[in-house]
Structure 1
Amino acid sequence: MTEEVSRFVERFASVLVDAGMPRMPSRVFALLLATDSGRLTSVELAERLQVSPAAISGAVRYLTQVSLISREREPGSRKDVYRLHDDQWYEAIVRREPLLTRWERAVLDGIDAVGPDTPAGRRLRDTASFFEFLAIEMPALLTRWREQRSP
């Protein structure tokens, strides 16, 4: 890995950390983005990031859970390969859509708890409305994104 790529990985990982992603998953994700193949083994990840295999294990578990990468096994090999989805951002967002509904329901429950006519109740109603809006608009937005990317 060149020094320039290494600097990019650390800079982009820092941006992801600022947005709330844990540091090691941010570094792993940034590194996978910066590889031509978008695929690396845990050994390759550890070597390039100069970290322990245990650090990689936790990072890839996190990234798999949030649908930014997937784990594959090459036929005839015992090594796991971690790869980006072809459209990792789209996939991550699509898998998050059900969360919007859960968040909306949870916030609506909060309105009953604090009272609908209180400042907190109005704030929670606005929050629930925002989640509802996103849940309604997200499918069309993602469809437009796919159409834009199609040749």
Structure 2
Amino acid sequence: MVEAGVPSMPARVFAALNMADSGRLTAAELAELLQASPAAISGAVRYLTQVNMIHREREPGTRRDVFRLYDDGWYTTLMRREAIVRRWEDAAKEGAIALGPDSPAGRRMAEMSAFFEFVDEELQPMLDRWGERRKALGFS
């Protein structure tokens, strides 16, 4: 994950959650397991929550937060990214119009917009196919 651009501590927290049978751990459990400070864990879970890779829940009957993976994690993460792809597409389209089609920057923005439009068109059918395959493999 670090090689893909995820900072080291969030990558370690994400790996720990994936390795936990329950897929959920408290901040104290993460700190103990990873031999990390509470501040490091706090920053890591904040990052992972902001990029929608994990979410925070309140443990019933307590004031402790539990951090957990989404049930169909990669699918959910990609679905949430779909909205981000659309925002990039729209921003690039606006940039291309503002810069003009004849300028090098305008052409780059137009290509960026076309790329994100392509990704947006391809993403949902791919996720639908994954849902079918997931079911056929017995994961759902």
Could you tell me how far apart the structure 1 residues matched to 2:92 and 2:124 are?
22
SS of residue matched to 1:64: helix
- The answer to whether structure 1 residue 118 and structure 2 residue 103 are counterparts is yes
- The answer to whether structure 1 residue 38 and structure 2 residue 36 are counterparts is no
Could you tell me how far apart the structure 1 residues matched to 2:83 and 2:71 are?
21
What are the residue-to-residue correspondences of 1:1-151 with 2, within 5 Å? 16-150=1-135, 151=138
* Pairwise CA RMSD: 1.5
Deviation at 1:118, TM superposition (A): 3.2
1:5 aligned partner: none
Deviation at 1:122, TM superposition (A): 2.5
How many residues align? The count is: 136
Which consecutive unaligned segments of at least 5 residues does structure 1 have?
Answer: 1-15
Deviation at 1:89, TM superposition (A): 1.1
Which consecutive unaligned segments of at least 5 residues does structure 2 have?
Answer: none
Moved more, 46-55 or 73-82: 73-82
Deviation at 1:60, TM superposition (A): 0.9
Aligned residues with identical type, % of pairs? 60
TM-score using structure 1 length: 0.82
Deviation at 1:121, TM superposition (A): 2.6
Q: Which amino acid aligns with 1:80?
A: D
